[in-house]
Structure 1
Amino acid sequence: MLDIKEDAGGVSIKIRVQPRAAKNQVSGVMEGALKVRLTAPPVDGAANKACCAFVAELLGVAKGRVAISQGHTGRNKTVRVEGLTAGQVLEKLNY
């Protein structure tokens, strides 16, 4: 089950990132975290930027509404998405 926390302004989603993948894609749920494969390398914040852009595109929100709140230097991240509810996120992710 996907670990999503909702508050008044939006949601926080746990994400596990695999950088340098063949293509950007969601590859399932692992230990409560959405497993995301990204083509970007984990150098100079490239994977973090790609993660935010991919999540924004996946959920249909502007890139400015998505930010990494925890895990800037690791694979396990918490991503904050403004303006959505947990139900909307689950519906868009088909979970």
Structure 2
Amino acid sequence: MSKDLPDLSVLAVAGAEVAVRVTPKAARNRIVAEDGAIRVYTTTVPEDGKANASVTKLLAKAMGVPKSRLELIRGQTSRDKVFRVIG
């Protein structure tokens, strides 16, 4: 696992909801997990769902699941997002 992506495989449980705080237009792509909160930094700009797609990809990689198993259920246009792990 890259130093910019922590091992979040413990969260890859079907039905689990994962809350993240997103910072778009960051200097580099990375995920920081601290104090029970997950912060995702993406270099992508928040337009036309591009940042959401980037966050989904980063989160899936850190969790060790295909990105098709992550569904954005809340926060499509917000910095605070909630993803659900599908079956």
Please indicate, yes or no, whether the TM-score normalized by the shorter chain is above 0.5: yes
Is 1:37 the counterpart of 2:41? The answer is yes
Task: State the match for 2:3 in structure 1.
Answer: none
- Counterpart for residue 18 of structure 1: 23
C-alpha contact 1:13 1:33 (8 A) present in aligned 2 = no
Deviation per residue, 1:2-47 (Å, 9 max, x gap) = xxxx9x83210110000011111113336x5311101111011001
Report the count of equivalent residues. Answer: 76
Decide which structure has greater strand share. 1
Q: Percent same amino acid at aligned positions?
A: 37
The aligned runs of 1:1-95 (5 Å cut-off) are: 9-29=14-34, 32-83=36-87
Identify which of structures 1 and 2 has the higher relative contact order when contacts are C-alpha pairs closer than 8 Å and 6+ apart. 2
For structure 2, which runs of at least 5 residues remain unmatched after alignment? 1-10
**Counterpart-to-counterpart distance in 1, 2:54 and 2:40:** 11
Structure 1 contact 19–42 (Cα < 8 Å) conserved = yes
- Any stretches of 5+ residues in structure 1 without a counterpart? 1-5, 84-95
Q: Which runs of 4+ in 1 moved over 2 A?
A: 27-30
Q: RMSD across aligned C-alpha pairs, in angstroms? A: 2.0
